[in-house]
Amino acid sequence: MEISKASDAVGAEVTDVNLSQIGDDQFAEIRLAFHDHGALFFRDQDLSPEQHIEFAERWGDIDINRFFTPVEGYPQIAKVLKEADQEMNIGGGWHTDHSYDHVPAMGSVLYALEIPPAGGDTLFAGMQAAYAALDDEMKARLEGLNARHGNAHIFGRDSDYQKKFGGRFGNTESAVQEAVHPVVLAHPDTGVKGLYVNPGFTLAIEGMEPEESNALLAELYAHIMQPKFHFRYKWSKGALAMWDNRSTWHYALNDYQGHRRYLNRITVAGVPLH
């Protein structure tokens, strides 16, 4: 097994490994790389749904997504599917999965079953690299701040997104909760500091007037959106990517109109963030 850095800011490629047959020593090495790089990419896997679940469970309990359509017979697995005649895709904007939960998910394990002939890449951004690159004045300004996250504007029954999406999300009545998390998060496993706000689900910074909150978030987002903090992953059938929701953003590009794209996602439960 070989592990090589995908970019300076986020991600590593892991080669010469069969995820259905890894031993404890290999898994310990993979876990360490996950904490070091925030996202891992494996190609040429051949996983049954049971093997996909087994690999995910090595990381922790499975957090069943209540909005996505599950794979029949496997409620732990959510379909990330765009049919050839559909215009909108899932995840088509910078975001962090489950930041709206009181206990956000640790990570996501996404396995590719059908990939368009071109397009459909996923962008990743490294939140720890982005934080480290801030000047001392901004770091001091962010210290001790908290932000409010929510999901009603995406998954709610009356959201514009849901209407444009053609009602493809379920359980819309449960899209009512909000959660408060630190703007600067000391990673629960490593202690490394990173930014924990995202355009998809962060609503506002607590204790600020809307104009001030919006301006600060916009400044942080513009900083994070610099390409030097990104890695672009080109999918292939049998590829598996997993990322740490506490230290990364991701963005599924929607540039393959007229083609089907289908991946299965398992979400791993996390811990409270402080």
* Residues forming the active site: 95, 97, 250, 265
Beta bridge partners of residue 265, listed in sequence order: 78, 110
Q: How far apart are CA 132 and CA 67, in angstroms?
A: 34
Tokens found for residue 132: 């480290």
Is the Cβ–Cβ distance between 91 and 252 less than 8 Å? yes
Tokens found for residue 259: 């083609």
User: Rounded to a whole number, what is the largest CA-CA distance in the chain?
Assistant: 53
Instruction: Select from 63, 136, 96, 65 the least CA-distant residue to 247.
Output: 96
**Amino acid (1-letter code) at residue 270:** G
Q: How far apart are CA 64 and CA 266, in angstroms?
A: 8
Question: What sections of 45-169 are H helices per DSSP?
Answer: 49-57, 127-132, 136-142, 152-155, 160-164
Q: Which residues contact 17 (CB under 8 A, 6 or more apart)?
A: 1, 26, 30, 42
Is the Cβ–Cβ distance between 15 and 43 less than 8 Å? yes
**Amino acid (1-letter code) at residue 50:** E
DSSP track, 31-56: HHHHHHHSEEEE-S----HHHHHHHH
**C-beta atoms surrounding 84 within 10 Å:** 11
